Amino acid sequence: MIVNRPDSDTFRHVMGHFGSGVTIITSSASGGPVGFTASSVASLSLDPLLLMVGVSQDSETLEAIRGSGAFGVNILRRDQVALAARFASSKRHDRFRDVGSEVMATGSPLLQGSLAWIDCALHAEVPAGDHVVALGRVEACAAFDGEPLFYYRGDFGGWAP
């Protein structure tokens, strides 16, 4: 069978069939907190405790992560679709409006009301095409009751047992 190499649109379509959790990655910059919606997040190691997140090369959040040496991972609840959409939009100045946050030991802002959060120190970064894989050393984390928010085929939704 001959298969042509896929283009970026085909690859994006195929990967859209891989359901994933939804997070907001946050960090501190000199102008205030920054963040973006991400689904490219995964646990990586238990010894030491590490996770990885894909961050766009041209992201202001990547610049903040590098500058502060830290980032937060906020795992969203099923009812936080509007928050996920806000942090995915191009309107960067409105992202933290009316959103409660707490600054953690690393200096990263973590969003109140998340299903879970992870406070990370930047352990390493790996160039990966138009992104960087940021490896975070877990400094603190917590989880709460509730249902997770998922991303599947270009849309946000919940888990139905």
More confident residue, 39 or 158: 39
Task: Return the higher-pLDDT residue of 148 and 18.
Answer: 148
Which residue ranges make up each domain of the chain?
23-151
Percentage with pLDDT > 90 across the chain:
73
Residue 2 has a pLDDT of 64
pLDDT band at residue 18 under the 50/70/90 scheme: confident
Q: Given pLDDT bands bounded at 50, 70 and 90, which one contains residue 161?
A: low
Q: Are 55 and 124 in contact (CB under 8 A)?
A: no
What mean pLDDT comes out for the span 3-24? 88
| Contact criterion met (CB below 8 Å) for 39 and 17 | no
158 pLDDT tier (thresholds 50, 70, 90): confident
pLDDT for 11 equals 87
Region of poorest pLDDT, from 9-23, 56-70, 71-85, 106-120:
9-23
pLDDT higher than threshold 90 for residue 120 = yes
In the predicted structure, residue 159 carries a pLDDT above the cut 90: no
pLDDT > 70? residue 58: yes
Mean pLDDT (the chain, rounded)? 92
What CATH superfamily classification does 23-151 receive? Electron Transport, Fmn-binding Protein; Chain A (2.30.110.10)
